[in-house]
Amino acid sequence: MLETLNYTLKDFKSENEVRWCPGCGDHAVLNAVQKAMANLGIRHEDFAVISGIGCSSRFPYYMSTYGFHTIHGRAAAIASGVKCANPKLTVWEITGDGDALAIGGNHFIHVIRRNIDINIILFNNKIYGLTKGQYSPTTDRGFVTKTSPMGTIEDPFVPGRLVLGAGGSFFARCVDNNLKHSQEVFEEAAKFKGTSVVEVLQNCVIFNDGIHEAITDPKTREERQIFLKHGEPMIFGNNRDKGIVLEKGKLRVVQLGEDGVKPEDILVHDASDQDGFLHQSLISMKLPDFPVAMGVIRAVPSKVYNEAMEAQIAEAKAKSKITSVDQLLSSGNTWTVE
C-alpha cells in the first residue's frame, strides 16, 4: 500500500556545499531532479544516484539520497548492478557526453539494449569541462578546442539516434534553463519502466559558454524549440502558428493557414510508436530549418531486464527440487563410502 510521502526539494539536498562554477547549468538540473524526486511518492531511502566521472558526476554528493560517485564511463554498468541486485530501488544515473558516449559508450548501448529500469540523465555540454576544454563525442565538426586547434575532423554523435540504434524504448530531451519542463520530463522518465535516457542540453559557462544558446535562449525559445507531448499536435512558435507535417517521407515545417494548411494536417505526436522512424526524424531536427524537439520523444513499453531476471529466479525456485546448498552438494552423481 502506498503511504503518503510529503517530501519537498529540501528533503533531497545534502549538507555538502555545491561546488559547480557559478552560472553552470548543472545547478538548475540538480534543482529539477530534486523537485522531481520529491513528487514521485517514492521513499527517500529507495533512491540510489550513481554517477561516473566528469563535472556533472559530482551530483550524488549534493543529494541526501544514497549515492555512489564511481569511475569514468562505468556508471551504467554499476547502476545496472544496483538495480538487478535490488529491483525495488529507483536508480538514477548521472552522466555526461564524455562519460556516457566516449569512454562509457559500450555500457551505454548495452544498458539500453537490455532495458534495465534505470533513469539516465545525460548532461550534454559538447565539451570536456573537468579536464578544461577538450572536444567530446558530441562536439560539432570543425569546432576549435584545446585538442583540436585547427577544428575537429570527426562528426558528433546525436545521443538520441544512438539510443534508437541500441533499441532504446525511452528518449527525452530538455534544457538546463527550463527548470519546470526539465522537472516534468524527469518525472516521466522515472515513471517509465525500462531504461529512460534524458538528454539535457547543458551550458558549460567556462569552456563552452553559449554552445546551445541559439536553441535555448528563453527569448527565442518558442520559435526554436518544439515541446512534444504524446497525443498532441506538433505545433510551436510564439503565436503557436507553426507545425510539423510529414511530406514524401520527410518532416517539414509549415505555417498554419498558409498554402491551405489545416490543423488536421499537422502530425500528432505518438511517443509509443514501436517503429522508430518518426522518432528518429524528430530527434534529428535541427536549426535553422527546424525547431529542436524537446520533451518525451519516445516512450515505448518493452520487456524489462530486471523484471525478467526476477521472473526467471521465481520460476526456477518454484520448479527446482534444490532449495539449499546442502541439497545441491548431495545432488547428481554421488556415492557413499561406508
Partner 1 sequence: MSIETKVIELEEVSIRFSGDSGDGMQLTGTLFSDTSSLIGNDISTFPDYPSEIRAPQGTVAGVSGFQIQIGKKKINTPGDLAHVLVAMNPAAVKANAKYMMPGGTIFYDSDSFNQKNFEKAKFTTDDPFTELNLLDHIKVPVPITQLTREALKDLEIDNKSILRSKNMFALGLICWVFSRPLDYIEKYITKKFGKKELVLEANLRVLHAGYNYAWNLQHMTPRYVVHPAPIEKGLYRNISGNLATAWGLLAAAEKAGLELFIGSYPITPATEVLQALAERKDLGVKSFQAEDEIAGICTSIGAAFAGDLAVTSTSGPGFALKSEALGLSVMAELPLVVVNVQRGGPSTGLPTKTEQADLLQTLYGRNGESPVVVVAASTPSDCFYYAYMSAKIALERMVPVVLLTDGFLGNGTEPWKVPKVADLPSITPRIARDASKFKPYQRDPKTLAREWAFPGMDGFQHRIGGLEKDPGGNVSQDPANHQLMCEIRRDKVEAVADMLPNLELVGENSGDLLVVGWGGTLGHLDTAVRELQVKGTKISLAHFNYIKPLPSNTKEVFSKFEKIVVCELNLGQFVGYLRDKMPEHQYHQFNKVQGLPFTIQELSDHFIKLIEE
Q: Minimum distance between the CB of residue 77 and partner 1, rounded to whole angstroms? A: 4
For residue 69, the SS3 value is: strand
Q: Minimum distance between the CB of residue 162 and partner 1, rounded to whole angstroms? A: 15
Rounded to 5°, angle at Cα 286 from 34 and 159: 50
Does residue 316 belong to the site contacting partner 1 (CB under 8 A)?
yes
242 within 8 A of 235, measured Cβ to Cβ = yes
Does residue 77 belong to the site contacting partner 1 (CB under 8 A)?
yes
Task: State residue 81 phi and psi, 5-degree precision.
Answer: -65, -40
Q: Minimum distance between the CB of residue 106 and partner 1, rounded to whole angstroms? A: 6
Would you give the binding string for partner 1 spanning residues 123-162, x where CB under 8 A is met? ----------------------------------------
Q: Which of residues 161-220 bind partner 1 (CB under 8 A)?
A: none
Q: Which of residues 91-110 bind partner 1 (CB under 8 A)?
A: 106-107, 110
Q: How far apart are CA 88 and CA 93, in angstroms?
A: 16
Q: How far apart are CA 316 and CA 314, in angstroms?
A: 6
Would you give the binding string for partner 1 spanning residues 294-313, x where CB under 8 A is met? ---------------x--xx
Give the C-alpha distances (Å, rounded to integers) separating 229 from 16, 184, 188, 295: 36, 11, 11, 7
Q: Minimum distance between the CB of residue 30 and partner 1, rounded to whole angstroms? A: 14
Grid cell listed for 27: 545547478
237 within 8 A of 223, measured Cβ to Cβ = yes
Does residue 8 belong to the site contacting partner 1 (CB under 8 A)?
no
Would you give the binding string for partner 1 spanning residues 11-50, x where CB under 8 A is met? ---x-x--------------------------xxxxxx-x
Peptide bond into 291 cis (omega under 30): no
- Of 194-202, 212-220, 263-271, 325-333, which part binds partner 1 (CB under 8 A)? 325-333
Does residue 338 belong to the site contacting partner 1 (CB under 8 A)?
yes
Q: Minimum distance between the CB of residue 308 and partner 1, rounded to whole angstroms? A: 11
267 within 8 A of 233, measured Cβ to Cβ = yes
Q: Minimum distance between the CB of residue 321 and partner 1, rounded to whole angstroms? A: 8
Among 137, 73, 69, which Cα is nearest to 104's? 73
Compute and round to an integer the Cα radius of gyration of the chain.
22
Q: How far apart are CA 268 and CA 277, in angstroms?
A: 14
Q: Which residues bind partner 1 (CB under 8 A)?
A: 14, 16, 43-48, 50, 53, 60-61, 63-71, 74, 77-86, 88-89, 106-107, 110, 309, 312-313, 315-317, 319-320, 322-326, 328-330, 332-338
